[in-house]
Amino acid sequence: MAVITTPELDPAPGRAPRRIAFRQRIGRWDVKASPYLYVSPFFILFAIVGLFPLGYTAWVSLHDWNLIGGKGDFVELDNFTNVLAQPNFRTGLRNTFSIFLLSSVPQVFAGLVLAAVLNANLRAKTFWRMGVLLPYVVAPVAVGLIFSKMFADQSGMFNTLLGNVGIDPIRWHADVLASHIAIATMVNFRWTGYTTLILLAAMQAVPSDLYEAAVIDGASRARQFFSVTVPMLRPTIIFVVITSTIGGLQIFDEPRMYDQFGQGGADRQWMTVTMYLYELGWGAQKSFGRAAAVAWILFLIIIAIGLLNFFLTRRISTSGSRAGRDKR
């Protein structure tokens, strides 16, 4: 291991000019302080715009706090009990989880299949890889606008196409499940390519001798995929699931753009928790206290799921295959 500090020679006694001593002190200070100085911007910024707001959210959630009027009385847990009693909040929670499941589960499966296809010895590799990634550069707002027109209940493209093959129009906006599917489609459209490339990278890191051994044992291509590739990818799949949980449970852009009112539909059929949070804080109520309570509840849910994931992952990686440790 190389060390960065240059050896500090003691100046010969009596002949040490002051300037050198001074420069040395500067130099020593430079070596000691610089590492901290360089990493400090992140920690300072995170403290100000990450940690402090999250902690302060708890404080705000215990008060009557208004967008315009500012801080009011201390109300203990009133905001929480109030929010938890709202049917809209529970609807939002249900919608969020439903949309999240509909977007993350198919996405991982589609990503696995696509990655396997892309993992072949293709001509023009980069071209195909770029092809799957294209939707990633389209803003969620744009995706939302495009798909909300495609999924229009009347005179929408999908319903017309369905009509052409004799299927009754689906009420993409009016129905709960259908609207969730439509919104999940937007998420999947934008993120499947990204997920695919992550899985593809992990697939390429699977040692080829495992496949050779499988071939010798007479495994078919499909068998190789399920018995070698998928187990080896487990850590990566978990990684994908965790990151999509954090993002997916905070979903706002796509459902917000699904109609022109941005309230999640007449019966709040596709209103998510974050949309509800926005409505409480910046909508008619202007209640920052309640918005903060919603934020804290969602925060706790996400942390809980994160921990669950973490322990599940540890169980899997210790009892399951050794994939986690082999992959570097």
Partner 1 sequence: MSSIGMIKQTSGAGAARAVARRRARQVGQGSGGAGANRRPRWVTYSILTFVLLVSAYPLYYSFLLGSSDAQTIAQNPVPSLVPAKHFFDNVERVLTSDIQFWKALTNSVIVASVTSISVVAFSTLAGFSFAKLRFRGRRGLLVFVIATMAVPTQLGIVPLFIVMAQLGWTGKLVAVIVPGMVTAFGVFWMTQYLEEALPYELIEAARVDGCSMIRTFWHVAMPAARPAAAMLALFTFVGSWTNFFWPFIVLGSNNPTLPVAVQLLQASYFKDYSLILAGVTLSTIPLIIVFAFAGKQLVSGIMQGAVKG
User: What's the min distance (Å) between Cβ of 145 and partner 1?
Assistant: 5
User: What's the min distance (Å) between Cβ of 129 and partner 1?
Assistant: 5
Nearer to partner 1, 31 or 176 (CB): 31
Neighbours of 25 (CB within 10 A): 10
Return the residue matching tokens 């986690």.
324
Nearer to partner 1, 14 or 145 (CB): 145
Nearer to partner 1, 3 or 85 (CB): 3
User: What's the min distance (Å) between Cβ of 294 and partner 1?
Assistant: 9
Are 273 and 90 in contact, with CB atoms under 8 Å apart?
no
Nearer to partner 1, 13 or 310 (CB): 310
CA dihedral 307, 313, 314, 319 (to 10 degrees): 150
What element of type H or E holds 90?
helix 87-118
Nearer to partner 1, 16 or 201 (CB): 201
DSSP 24-65: HHHHHHHHHHHHHHHHHHHHHHHIIIIIHHHHHHHHHHTEEE
Return the residue matching tokens 């539909």.
265
**What gap in Å lies between CA 220 and CA 205, rounded to an integer?**
20
**What gap in Å lies between CA 184 and CA 174, rounded to an integer?**
16
User: What's the min distance (Å) between Cβ of 194 and partner 1?
Assistant: 6
**What gap in Å lies between CA 116 and CA 151, rounded to an integer?**
30
User: What's the min distance (Å) between Cβ of 256 and partner 1?
Assistant: 8
User: What's the min distance (Å) between Cβ of 14 and partner 1?
Assistant: 24
Nearer to partner 1, 14 or 126 (CB): 126
